[in-house]
Structures are given as C-alpha cells and as structure tokens.
Amino acid sequence: MNKEYTEAKARFEAGVMKTLQKNKERKETFSTGGGLPLERLYGPDMTEGTDYVKEVGFPGEYPFTRGVQSTMFRGRFWTMRQYAGFASAEESNERYRYLLASGTTGLSVAFDLPTQIGYDSDDPMAQGECGKVGVAIDSLKDMEILFDKIPLDKVSTSMTINAPASVLLAMYICVGEKQGVPMSALSGTIQNDILKEYIARGTYIFPPKPSMRLITDIFEFCSQNVPKWNTISISGYHIREAGSTAAQEVAFTLADGIAYVEAARSKGLDPNVFGERLSFFFNAHNDFLEEVAKFRAARRMWAKIMKERFGVTNPKAQMLRFHTQTGGSTLTAQQPENNIVRVTMQALSAVLGGTQSLHTNSMDEALALPSEKSVMIALRTQQIIAYESGVTNTVDPLAGSYVVESLTNEIEEKAFEYIQQIDEMGGMLTAIEKGYVQKHIQDAAYEFQRAVESKENVVVGVNKFQIEEKNKDMKLLTVDASVGERQIKKLQELKASRDNVAVSNALDAIRSAALNESQNLMPLIIDAVRVYATEGEICGVLRGVFGEYTENIVL
Amino acid sequence: MDERKIRVVVAKPGLDGHDRGAKVVARALRDAGMEVIYTGLRQTAEQIVETVLQEDADAVGISILSGAHTFYFTKIIDMLREKDAGDVIVFGGGVIPDSDIPGLIEAGAGAVFGPGTPTTVCVEWLEGAVAKKRAKE
Amino acid sequence: MAVDTLLEKALGGDIRSIARIISLIENDNPEKDALLKRVYPMTGKAIVLGITGSPGAGKSTLTDKVIEHFRRQGKKVGVIAVDPSSPFSGGAILADRIRMQRHTGDSGVYIRSMGTRGSLGGLSRGTRESVILLDACGYDVIIIETVGVGQSEVDIIKIADTVCLVLVPGMGDDIQIMKAGIMEIANVFAINKADKPGVDRVAAEVRLMLDLVKDRPWVPPVHLTVAENGTGIEELVASIASHSVFLKSNPDGVRREWRRLAFEVEEILLQHITRMTEKSWNAYKTDEVMELLLSRKSNPYAVAEDVLRKIIPGTRVV
C-alpha cells in the first residue's frame, strides 16, 4: 500500500484508540457466527495479496468465485424450489400443483422417513411415521399419483432421497415413461449423498462400501441415459444443521465430494463427464457476510479441487452449482413471525452468494410442517428479493468488498486445512469411521448452545426480548393419522393385483446382481419398479446382501 | 462412600435422524454429573423400555422431531407401566407443537421441553424430579 | 424394596431386580457386602471374558457378534460395558450398547453400561462384584468390555478368566500395546477389521511377539476377524471356550485363579479399610484440627496416627 494510505490508516487508528479510552466497544473481540475473528475495519491492505484474475476472476470463468454464469440473475433468476410433501401422494400432489400455480419453478419432494429408509408403510418400523415428515411412497402406484397432471418434461424435480435413491429415481423414470417422456428429457436432482447421512442426517441403510457402489452405479447409468439429471446433491446443509461452523460446512461437504469423485474414478468414470452432473446443497445461516463469503469460497475451492486434484479440464465440470435452503435450526418457536425476517436475510445471502436454486423456510417450521399460508409467505420472500430488492440487477455485487473478499479467503484457508487433515487420515470414509467429522460438529454445536445459554449469543425472542406468548394462534398443519392405514390398504390391493411372479423374478435378478460388483444395478431396479415391486421389497433384498450400517457415536 | 448417581437413558425413537438436540442434552446431563446411557438412532419403544430396565435408569429422555411424538410417548409410558416400572420418569423434547403437550403430560410424561429451552432448565427439572422419585422409594 | 426380596427376584431372573442390585453395588451401598457373601457360593460357573483394546478397535461390534454366537449355543450372556466417567463432573456418556441393541429383546441377554466413576484402573470394584451377581443369577458367559485406555487393559486380568485383546491394522497402536505390557495378559487375539490393508503385518508382529516366550502351556491363538460381517467370530468363540477348558484342567489355570482370589481378598480389605479411614477421618476433621495443621502446630503424620488409633488401637504410622 502506498505511503499516503499507511499514514492515513495510522492516523485513523490513533483516533480509534482515543475513542476506545472514552467508550469501550460492545465486546472485547468480535467474530463471525462461525467463529472466525472479525477486525474492526477492513481496508484495501487486507486484500492486497489477492490476485484478482487468479483468485476472483470473472463470472462464468475459472475459478468461478463470482458465479457460474457470466450474466447470473440478469439472465434468469434462481429456481425457486420449495421443499414439500406430506401425508399421501394425493395430498402432496395437490400441494405441488398449488405451488406451481403460485409461481414456484421447480418441485422438491420430501419423503416420509419410512420411504427414506427403505421400509414400506406396513413395516413394523414404519409405525407412527407414515406421511409425517414427507410423502409416503411405497410403489410406482404412489409415484404415479404424486405426479399426476404434472408434466415431467416441463418441470424439474428435486428429490430428497439418499440410501434408496436408485429406487425412487427408477420410479420417476417409469412415471416419465407412462407420460410419454423419455428419460433423456427428464431433469432434476436426487440427493443421493450417503456420506452426510452417516455424518449428520441419519437416514442411512447400508454400510459405506455398497452405498458408494449404488451411488456410482447411478452416476454411470445417468451419464448414459439421463444426461440432464443431477445425480447427486452433495450436501452441507445438514452438516450445518447438526451444528457445524460455516468453514466446517464447506470443508466436510467438499471432502464428501472428493470421496465421490474418487469412487467414480476408480470405477473408470471420467470426471470431465460425470463432474458436470454433480451438484451441491448448502445452508444459508444467520451471519450475513460470512454466508456470502462461504458460498463464494466453496465455488472457488471446488473449481481448484476439480482442476488441480483431478485434472478436470471441462469448465462445466469445474463449476460448483448449488441449491440453498435457509437454516432450519435458526428458526425459533418463540415469536415465530420473527422467522420471516431471519429467512429474508438468509435468503438474501444465498442470492448474493450466487445460488442456483433456493428454498426459503416457513415461519412455523420450528413447530410443525408448514401451513399453506406460511409457505406462501416464504415463497413471496424469494420473489420480493428477485423482483424488488434490486440486488439481482448486477452480477456478484459484493465482490471487492474488503471484508467479503477477506472472509472468502479465510474460509477457503480454514476449510482446506480440514480437508488436508481428512486426506492425511486416509479420506472421508476413514474420517467418518473414526468419528473425526462428527466430533468436530458436535463440539461446535455444544459450544453454540453454551454461548446461547450464557447469553454471549443473543437469539431474539429466546434469550432476550422474550414476551409472554399465549398459546400461539397460528394455524398449524396436522397430518391425518389415517395415512398409515390408507397406505397399508393400498399395499394390500397392489399385492393382490400385480403380477407377483414378475415381481419375484425381478427381485431375484437384483439379488444376484447385488453380489456382482461389476454389474450396474440401476436397469434391474427399473425393471422391478415397473412391475410394481415395492420400495421395501427392493431395499429388503439389498439389505439381505449388503447388511446394515450402525452409527458411530462420538460424544 | 459414593453418592447415588442419576442414571438417564437418552433415546431417539423411530426413524428420525436429527440427533443434534439429543446429543447436546446428553452432554449437558453428563456435565451435570449424571450417567447418560445413549442408545443412538432408530430405537423401537420395546428397545427403549428394555434398556431402561437393564440399566436401572431413573429417567428416560426421548427426542423426536418427526411428528411421531404422541405415538412414542404413549407407547413407552404404557410399556413401562406394564413392566412394573411406572416410576421411571419420562421426559422429552423436539419439534412438538404446544397444543400436543397437555396430551403427553396427561399420558404420563413428566415434562416436554420445546425448542429453545436452555439445557440448564432441563437439568434442574430432572434433578428435582429424580429427588422426588427417590424420596418415595 | 427390601434387599432380600430384591435378591430373591434377581435370582429368579427378574431383570429390573438384577439391575437394581448392580446399582446398589455401584453406589457402594452398605448392604451389598452381605448380599455378595450370600450369593458367592452360587458362583464360579460362568465363563468371564474380558474384551479389551484401543478405542476404535471395534470392541462393541465384536462383543455384539460374540453374544450372538454364545446365544446360538443356548448360553445366557451378561455384558458389562465400561465407558470413562468425566473427571470434571463425574458424569458419563455410556454409548457402547448402541452396537448391541438388537439383543435387547432377547431375555437371555443382559447388558449393563458402567462409568469408571473415578476408579484409577478404569475398572471399579463394582465391575467385579457385578460379575459375581450375574454369575449367581445364572449367566453362563459374562463379558466385560473395557474402556480400552491405560490401566484398564491390564486390570482386566484381575476380573476376567479369559482376556481377548482386539487389535486393528493401521491404527499405529501395535507398538504402544507392546510397551504397555498388554500383550502378556491376552489369552486370545482378535485382529479385527481384517479386510483392511496392513492386517498381515499386525498378525505377523503379534505372532513374532508370542514366539519370544517358549514353552508356554497356553499359546494364545491369533484370529483375523471382521466384526461388521461376522467373519472369524466362530473361531474366536471356539478359542475362548477352549481357553476356559484349559484353565480348569491345567495347573497354570489353577495358579491363575489362586492369584486372582488372593487379589480379590486384598481388594475387599482395602475397600473396607478405605471406608473406615474415610469415616474416622471425616469425624476427626474438625476446624480445630485443621487450624493446628495450618499453623504447623501439628503435622499430618501425627494426625494420621491419631485417626488410625481410633480404628486400630495401638497402631503407629512411623
């Protein structure tokens, strides 16, 4: 920096010292929500060492710090995609059509827990859970109802499904067939990210090795047959919800990504090809500046990883494209209307961070599944940011902000440190097995809780500015308790009317293919789904061959 | 002579995988000097009740965010009573609407803590409840 | 409930009563000694197996599979899984049973989690006494899963008839184990996670160590196991069973039991003396006494001697 600047800064700092003698600052030290130290002031000297072209660059160009498209939201807005689904396929279909009519541009299917863990609704493990956190899907029959009157060539669908992702994707492909839409025309995403299930979300079924095989089978099958499908959504969202810091969210997500790329490469797949279909999913949390920096850092890091570590030359396979959801754990049950404001700021950080699609949480989600009204407000929040705030009219408007660029650098540095430790341990699978990742997340979560209880962290309405609240008069959504019974009845009818010989043949074929690692399971799962084998039957066969995973507790 | 430690089973019934709350509470109880038997995810009511009996737990805390709370609370409480262990304190938390809480208390739950409850509140309540229970023994 | 009734119910197989008595033992309840004295004649039938090894070696998963095998033979199995207590709060998170939860519905399996509660060795007197109770209650096999760090790995020999040491490739702990002298106490080795690279090296190192000692009456067998999928467990369980036969038939086994019993008496004595000492000292520890000590008008030796004389008249410290 030049002499003039250095002198001016010294003058300023002397002035500050005087001020501090009279008036102390609110805290001794300041830091981001994720614990990164924050300076009083950021100036040009802080980003002086950053090579603009190399590290920041232009949007649509390596390392994509400023975004994955050259025109970003001047071209088109992000996909407004609200995660939804509850009860049975009938009710959820109705909600989807309501959302599409209200202007959402993509669907996002929430499945109930039995579906996510590969149990049919009549399984004893499914008792009390059917239709509770999402829609219950047992067979292709349910899936046909779920997408009734929704043209699959016009809408892109994201499905939050992991351990049994192959089965649900197979069902989607078959619904497409029935609508006359070839699989090559289908677009959407399956979450398909098993590693973060072991780390943070808990809906795993099989042990890591066969799980990784199912994932790479999907990569291979889709690159040949469903080219517009995002075959995985590598998710930091749940890692953050489990309590990680922003830098950990980036680090562990990208480390998961590295593990998937390595698994696919060892199967002989080309990262220049499947790399285009990898997508990511992040959390938009409270600390506004840190979050914007986090998204930018993640993009830059992934580009570097793909290029430098995996030798990827196809720019599309270097790009980190991501979905964002506002932070569920930041919502408060107290004074729930305040959540609208939280969601607004979180969503704004995602937009300024250059997200490709966005889900905004509803204000009542700390209490129950969202009601129709609160879902509408959440969607309107996105539309107001898109159409009214003006931030979408120029690309990456916060670039060049001294603090945002500094934080971007710091998150990158911190996250690469974690990745290096994971590499030294022998990769993400070993790190999970040793509980390294879980331990870091739980420590951060416990630390956060203590800071809230000591009021070092203020949560408005929870540990400060509380008010006496009479029984909250919000209208909450309740799921009809009869969903389970209805599903069981549907299953009985299905099993009585389908071709059971065809089903058992299809299941046998899956069993023998499961034993043979070199055979791709996807086509066989599609065959089974098509003759109405249920999800529980298919997963049951795979459980028999692969075994089940038990969590690794580190507390 | 050793003091009599409070033993608590912390369990995640059903298929819900959100265990941040359960783990934070488990740690807080440990830091308050209790012995916490942590069962992990995907526990059936039968497994939870059997664990309580084998571990001679004073209390069982259950965490549910999936909406299946009424089902599991009532089932666990009923089974404990059937096994002549109705004195075991049942408490819990998670995403549970206020309107469901009276029903759970009615069924026999000692306390239900909603989102945002400080762990200290939970610890103090449990210490008091165990003291009351032991006074009756 | 009266202790007698509890005991009667426990011996009749009532799980909750067994659990309650173990709590009495753990809490060092004054009535527990009489109770253990009563049940002692009923003991000595069970195979007492200690499973030890570093954290992360897969002890709990291995225990789970060993339970399964003994159950197939129709044996009743009791498990005591020990986890460390926090030195700060005295609390503990006991999570070993997660990997054994599938057995909870089986009335032939009893699993109890225990904190170390400040005992230096990681295994408390309560662990040994719980074994006595379970033995009396008819459990054919009693498994103790240790914390897996430090002293507990050596201490297990004071409780278990058969010690199974679990090692894993690639943890870099082989050298540590040799240093700590744990190799000497193991009767059976399980090289777990044997599907990982490096397993042959660990197995070879263990065998090399074992070869250093010639002419031993029992040569510890080395098994390769993958606890996750059950590989090698059958052979491991067979070795455990034959070690138990060996102990009963070989002079070496008798010597071992002799040592163990001598140690047990010593422990009970120590426990009683500690208890008496604490009681007397607490009664003696008035403000005046402490003032005298603080002002150096008295000294710790003299005070200790006074306290000791209250317990055993005429004793001298120095």
Inter-chain CB proximity B30 and C19 less than 8 Å? no
SS3 B119: helix
Test mutation, A86, A115, A132, chain B, max B CBs within 10 A: A132
Asked if pLDDT for residue A167 goes beyond 60, the answer is yes
Across-strand partners of A232?
Answer: A278
Average confidence (pLDDT) over A319-331: 97
pLDDT in tens, C74-126: 999 999 999 999 989 999 999 999 999 999 999 999 999 999 887 755 677 78
User: A546 near A207, Cβ under 8 Å?
Assistant: yes
User: A81 near A158, Cβ under 8 Å?
Assistant: yes
Q: Which of B22, C88, B28 is nearest to A452 (CA)?
A: B28
Shortest alpha-carbon distance between residue B131 and chain C (Å): 16
Centroid of chain to Cα A300: 18
State the CB neighbour count (10 A cutoff) for residue A124.
7
Asked if pLDDT for residue B2 goes beyond 50, the answer is no
Chain A to chain C, count of Cβ pairs less than 8 Å apart? 15
Contacts of C93 in chain A (CB under 8 A): 555
For chain B, helix (H) and strand (E) counts, in that order, are: 5, 5
Inter-chain CB proximity B54 and C112 less than 8 Å? yes
**DSSP labels for A520-536?**
-SHHHHHHHHHTT--HH
Q: What is the mean pLDDT of chain A?
A: 94
SS3 A142: helix
Total domain count, chain B: 1
Asked if pLDDT for residue B122 goes beyond 60, the answer is yes
Contacts of A434 in chain C (CB under 8 A): 56
Residue of B nearest to C1 (CA): B137
Q: With cut-offs at 50, 70 and 90, classify the pLDDT of residue A137.
A: very high
**Higher pLDDT, residue C203 or B80:** B80
Q: What tokens appear for A122 in the block? A: 């009549």
Q: With cut-offs at 50, 70 and 90, classify the pLDDT of residue C178.
A: low
Average confidence (pLDDT) over A480-494: 92
Which of A207, A426, A550 is opposite residue C98, by nearest beta carbon? A550
**Cis peptide leading into C30, omega within 30 of 0?**
no
| Residue B131: inside a domain | yes
**Cis peptide leading into A315, omega within 30 of 0?**
no
The Cα C114–Cα C19 span in angstroms is: 11
Residues on A contacting B at a C-beta cutoff of 8 Å:
113-114, 116-117, 119, 124-129, 132-133, 197, 201-203, 241-243, 329, 332-334, 366-369, 442, 445-446, 449, 452-453, 459, 462-463, 471-472, 476, 479, 550-551, 553, 555
Supply φ then ψ for residue C190, to 5 degrees. -120, 115
What does the pLDDT read at residue B22?
A: 95
User: A369 near A477, Cβ under 8 Å?
Assistant: yes
Asked if pLDDT for residue A155 goes beyond 60, the answer is yes
Asked if pLDDT for residue C317 goes beyond 80, the answer is no
ipTM: 0.94
Q: How many residues does chain B have?
A: 137
Which of A207, A433, A553 is opposite residue C98, by nearest beta carbon? A553
**Higher pLDDT, residue A121 or A83:** A121
Q: What tokens appear for A497 in the block? A: 């009317």
What does the pLDDT read at residue B1?
A: 40
pLDDT in tens, A509-553: 999 999 999 999 999 999 999 999 999 999 999 999 999 998 888
The Cα A435–Cα A433 span in angstroms is: 5
Q: Which of A252, A238, A248, A245 is nearest to A204 (CA)?
A: A238
Q: With cut-offs at 50, 70 and 90, classify the pLDDT of residue B92.
A: very high
Which of A117, A132, A446 is opposite residue B24, by nearest beta carbon? A446
Q: With cut-offs at 50, 70 and 90, classify the pLDDT of residue C214.
A: confident
| Residue B1: inside a domain | no
Q: What is the mean pLDDT of chain B?
A: 94
Q: Which chains would you list as touching B if contact means 3+ CB atom pairs under 8 Å?
A: A, C
Task: Judge whether C172 is closer than 8 Å to chain A, CB to CB.
Answer: no
Q: What is residue A106's DSSP assignment? A: E
Q: Which residue has the tokens 């986090």?
A: A294
Which of B31, B40, B47 is opposite residue C91, by nearest beta carbon? B31
Shortest alpha-carbon distance between residue B56 and chain C (Å): 5
Residue of A nearest to C60 (CA): A552
Inter-chain CB proximity C91 and B54 less than 8 Å? no
The Cα C182–Cα C191 span in angstroms is: 15
Chain A to chain B, count of Cβ pairs less than 8 Å apart? 97
Q: What tokens appear for A81 in the block? A: 């995609």
The Cα C87–Cα A20 span in angstroms is: 42
Average confidence (pLDDT) over C279-288: 92
Distance (Å) of CA A482 to CA A423, A492, B97:
49, 16, 19
Distance (Å) of CA C148 to CA A40, A294, C97, C116, C179:
48, 40, 15, 12, 15
CATH number of the domain at B129, please: 3.40.50.280
State the CB neighbour count (10 A cutoff) for residue A39.
11
- How large a percentage of chain C has pLDDT more than 90? 58
Task: Return the ∠ at Cα A250 (arms to A247 and A254), rounded to 5°.
Answer: 145
Supply φ then ψ for residue A96, to 5 degrees. -65, -45
Which of C16, C92, C275 is opposite residue B35, by nearest beta carbon? C92
Contacts of B74 (CB under 8 A, 6+ apart): B104, B107
Asked if pLDDT for residue A247 goes beyond 90, the answer is yes
Asked if pLDDT for residue C171 goes beyond 80, the answer is no
Residue of A nearest to C96 (CA): A553
Asked if pLDDT for residue A48 goes beyond 80, the answer is yes
pLDDT in tens, A216-227: 999 999 999 999
Asked if pLDDT for residue C228 goes beyond 50, the answer is yes
What does the pLDDT read at residue B98?
A: 85
Inter-chain CB proximity A434 and C99 less than 8 Å? no
Contacts of A3 (CB under 8 A, 6+ apart): none
**Higher pLDDT, residue C149 or A46:** A46
Choice among A179-183, A355-359, C174-178 with the minimum mean pLDDT: C174-178
Domain containing B116 equals 7-136
What does the pLDDT read at residue A471?
A: 58
Choice among A59-73, C139-153, C239-253, C295-309 with the minimum mean pLDDT: C139-153
Q: Half-sphere exposure (CA, 13 Å, Cβ side) for B17? A: 22
Inter-chain CB proximity B116 and A332 less than 8 Å? yes
Q: What tokens appear for A419 in the block? A: 């990745």
Q: What tokens appear for C165 in the block? A: 């040491």
Asked if pLDDT for residue C176 goes beyond 80, the answer is no
SS3 A381: helix
State the CB neighbour count (10 A cutoff) for residue C5.
10
Contacts of C19 in chain B (CB under 8 A): 53-56
The Cα A390–Cα A384 span in angstroms is: 9
pLDDT in tens, B42-78: 999 999 999 999 999 999 999 998 888 999 999 999 9
Q: What tokens appear for A549 in the block? A: 């995973």
What does the pLDDT read at residue C150?
A: 65
Centroid of chain to Cα C162: 11
Contacts of A332 in chain B (CB under 8 A): 115-116
Residue of A nearest to B66 (CA): A133
Test mutation, C98, C103, C113, C173, chain A, max A CBs within 10 A: C98
Asked if pLDDT for residue A351 goes beyond 70, the answer is yes
Asked if pLDDT for residue C221 goes beyond 70, the answer is yes
Distance (Å) of CA A357 to CA A15, A135, A311, A360, C270:
45, 22, 28, 10, 69
Task: Judge whether B51 is closer than 8 Å to chain C, CB to CB.
Answer: yes
Which domains can be identified in chain A, with CATH numbers? Answer: 75-453 (3.20.20.240)
Contacts of A57 (CB under 8 A, 6+ apart): A63, A64, A65, A66
Average confidence (pLDDT) over A368-380: 90
B52-80 burial, b for 16+ CB within 10 Å, e for fewer? Answer: bbbbbbbbbbbbbbbbbbbbbbbbbbebb
Test mutation, B56, B81, B83, B130, chain C, max C CBs within 10 A: B56
User: B115 near B96, Cβ under 8 Å?
Assistant: no
| Residue B126: inside a domain | yes
| Residue B2: inside a domain | no
Asked if pLDDT for residue A232 goes beyond 50, the answer is yes
Residue type for A415, please?
A: A
Q: Which residue has the tokens 């059958």?
A: C234
The Cα A504–Cα B7 span in angstroms is: 49
Alpha helices, DSSP H, located in C73-167:
125-136, 152-155
Q: Which chains would you list as touching A if contact means 3+ CB atom pairs under 8 Å?
A: B, C
Average confidence (pLDDT) over A235-255: 97
**Higher pLDDT, residue C53 or A166:** A166
Q: 68-127 in B: which are within 8 Å (CB) of C?
A: 83-85
- How large a percentage of chain C has pLDDT more than 70? 93
Residue of B nearest to A446 (CA): B24
